[in-house]
Amino acid sequence: MAMADSGALVGHGRLAVDSGTGRAHGKAILLGEHAVVYGAPALAVPIPFLTATARATRVPCPDDGGEGISFTIAGPGPAASAPLPGDGTRQMLAEFREATGFSDDLCVDVVVDCAVPQGRGLGSSAACARAAVLALADLCGFGLDAATVFRLVQASENVAHGRASGIDAVATGSDSPVLFRSGVVQELSTNFEGRFVIADSGVGGSTKEAVELVRRRFEHDAQAKEEFVSRASGLTGGAVRDLEQGDLAGLGARLTENHVLLQELGLSTDRIDRLVAAALMAGSPGAKISGGGLGGCVIALAGGPGAAEELGRTLREAGATRTWIVPMRRLASHVD
């Protein structure tokens, strides 16, 4: 499915009800982050139990007119309960108005309850934006198609990341693992039995800074860029085959190799490297940093549920502040 193709709007656009709701979830990138910004494929899995839910409620307009739409974000993390209308949200709202004809003189409160921790490479900005877009559309009685939702979430993500590939905008709304390349999405139906343990290093990273660091690194070194994109593309392509063949060892080796590529770009941290080493020492087939980097989370591969529980324990003993277990398929999930 190509996300840029459509833009159709189904619905009447009048406020049909007094409130609307929207929902999205977190995601973890298995392979290909950063390279995906430069056209390489990347693989991501949804984290269905880390949710962002939004409610858009029509409210009386303030006497001074105000902003029309106000945003509040609630949930864990430093920005809990802080008002949200950052530049990304403003851009998203401007495009929402343009796409839907949403009237300027309607006043709406949007409250996003976000369980996706911020700054951990788990897609919190995209999940918040997606939930908000869907809540506003629900309030107005619009049925936005997938391409329009993608475009609106991307409007916010491009500001949040500086330059966003679109993988977060897609994966935070997908029920399946996705292979994403240059706006084209393939949902993978896989029976791969492995599980991924996600371990929070306890230190947040800024995706925007990380994307900018990589951009500066490549600005004057086209060969380094080409090599990184080509090696990451090869790893992601190989990983898709590993998943098809159920090759746990092969997939693990590619994860660790991808970690080294990201480490060489300066995107890892001592804490993250220690967690990766602890996972490998404990017998994980492979582990890496996941997402933007400069902090955030490690993703480590495990076999069955017992091995994943054990690996989670090991990672917490090695300093992870919390761990989650994510299956490759959308199955039962576990939170510590």
Binding stretches for ligand PMV (CB under 6 A): 29, 33-34, 36-37, 121, 123, 161, 164-165, 167-168, 207, 210-211, 291-292
Is 23 or 163 the residue whose CB approaches ligand PMV more closely? 163
The CB-of-124 to ligand PMV minimum distance in angstroms stands at 8
Closest CB 169 distance from ligand PMV, rounded Å: 8
Residues 6+ apart with CB under 8 A from 332: none
Query: What is the closest distance, in whole angstroms, from the C-beta atom of residue 246 to ligand PMV in the complex?
Result: 26
Q: Which is nearer to ligand PMV, 70 or 158 (CB)?
A: 158
Angle at 215 between CA 212 and CA 218, to 5 degrees: 150
The DSSP element (H or E) to which 22 belongs, if any, is: strand 19-31
DSSP labels for 30-93?
A: EE-TTGGGGT--EEEEEEEEEEEEEEEEE-PPPTT-TTSEEEEEESSSTTTT-B---HHHHHHH
Q: Cα separation of 166 and 13, whole Å?
A: 26
Minimum CB separation from ligand PMV for residue 312, in Å? 20
CA distance 216 to 207: 14
Question: What H or E segment, with its residue span, contains residue 274?
Answer: helix 270-281
Question: Least CB distance from residue 29 to ligand PMV, whole Å?
Answer: 6
The three-point CA angle 150-191-26 to 5° equals 35
DSSP string of 288-301, one letter each residue: EEESS-SSSEEEEE
Q: Measured between alpha carbons, how far is 186 from 190 in angstroms, rounded to an integer?
A: 12
Give least dist CB 209 to ligand PMV, A: 10
In the DSSP assignment, the letter for residue 2 is B
Nearer to ligand PMV, 128 or 282 (CB): 128
C-beta of 292: minimal distance to ligand PMV in Å? 3
**What type of residue sits at position 297?**
C
As a whole number of angstroms, the distance between CA 92 and CA 100 comes to: 12
Helix, strand, coil abundance in the chain, percent, nearest 5: 40, 25, 35
83 φψ region: left (φ > 0), alpha (ψ -120 to 50), beta (else): beta
Q: Which is nearer to ligand PMV, 11 or 162 (CB)?
A: 162
Considering the complex, state which of residue 116 and residue 328 has its C-beta at the smaller distance from ligand PMV.
116
Q: How far is the CB of 37 from ligand PMV (least distance, A)?
A: 5
Q: b/e per residue, 68-96, with b = 16+ CB within 10 A?
A: bbbbbbebebebeeeebbbebbbbbbebb
Using the minimum distance from each CB to ligand PMV, give the nearer residue, 56 or 133.
133
- Taking the least distance from each CB to ligand PMV, the nearer of 36 and 110 is 36
Q: Which is nearer to ligand PMV, 164 or 248 (CB)?
A: 164
CB nearer to ligand PMV: pick between 93 and 160: 160
**In the bound complex, what is the minimum distance in angstroms from residue 166's beta carbon to ligand PMV?**
7
